[in-house]
Amino acid sequence: MKPTAVSLCLLAGLLSGCGGAGLDNAEQNVQNQTRNQTRPIHVSDRNEAFNQHDENEQFGYVRYQKEQFDGEQQEAPVMNREETAHIISSLTVQLPHIQDAATLVTDREALVVYKTNSKNRGLTADQVKKTAASVIPRYYHVYISDNPNHMQSIENYSNLGSGSRDIREIMSGTIQEMKTSPQGSPVSENENANGETRQDMKIDRNDKNAR
């Protein structure tokens, strides 16, 4: 009976120790899950053994939860306008019949000027406009021109910013000149080729009258 009693005591001790460790592990898992809910989930967070693709081939995946942007815990990401202009110009110049492309990205517009030898200006304009629209946020307006002389015009604005004095009034003239070139097909039933609604144009007119 004595060996049996000793064995039971040892077994009870082991079970007690394992139970404590199990509770500790469970608590740690809950804490880890809670922490994960307060930060974005990136594809790069996954096991490296399953992520052996070239960096440029790997899909991008990020998940956010609404609570992460409540309050002042995190700031919403800000678009890099220079990088966006780079992407639009580099994609545009790869379109058929495009030899040169320049892009200016503001806080709500993308101005794209390109040089082309296309005989179908309307089709090319539609391709350029859709290329730019695929890169920028949906609320942006896109203005394009196949008149290379406008490249210097938009380059002149490259050192300015959203807070520059009278910037809207200054740029409006260039935008109107650019719109004399083909702008492509309407974006939707409620938006013209530049992505402007009637309400947008009404607001712009009111802004001009208020100046």
Based on the domain organization, do 73 and 177 belong to the same domain? no
pLDDT tens profile 109-146: 999 999 999 999 999 999 999 999 999 999 999 999 99
Q: Which residues pair with 105 in a beta bridge?
A: 110
pTM, two decimal places: 0.69
Q: What is the pLDDT of residue 90?
A: 97
> 72: domain range?
35-77
Are 71 and 121 in the same domain?
no
- Asked if the structure places residue 198 within a domain, the reply is yes
Strand order in the sheet with 141-145: 98-105, 109-116, 141-145
Cβ neighbours for 181, distance < 8 A, ≥ 6 positions apart: 121, 125, 144, 145, 146, 147
Same domain, 94 and 189: yes
Q: Are residues 69 and 104 in the same domain?
A: no
Residue 130's identity, in one-letter code, is K
Domain boundary among 45, 77, 109: 77
Overall average pLDDT of the 77-99 stretch:
94
Q: Report the share of the chain in percent with pLDDT over 90.
A: 50
Which ranges of the chain would DSSP assign to H, the alpha helix?
2-36, 81-92, 121-133, 150-156, 167-178, 198-210
Task: Categorize the per-residue pLDDT at 40 as very low, low, confident or very high, splitting at 50, 70 and 90.
Answer: low
**What gap in Å lies between CA 194 and CA 204, rounded to an integer?**
14
Report yes or no on 30 lying in a domain: no
The answer to whether residues 87 and 71 belong to one domain is: no
C-alpha–C-alpha distance, residues 178 and 152, integer Å: 12
- Identify the band that residue 28 occupies on the pLDDT scale cut at 50, 70 and 90: low
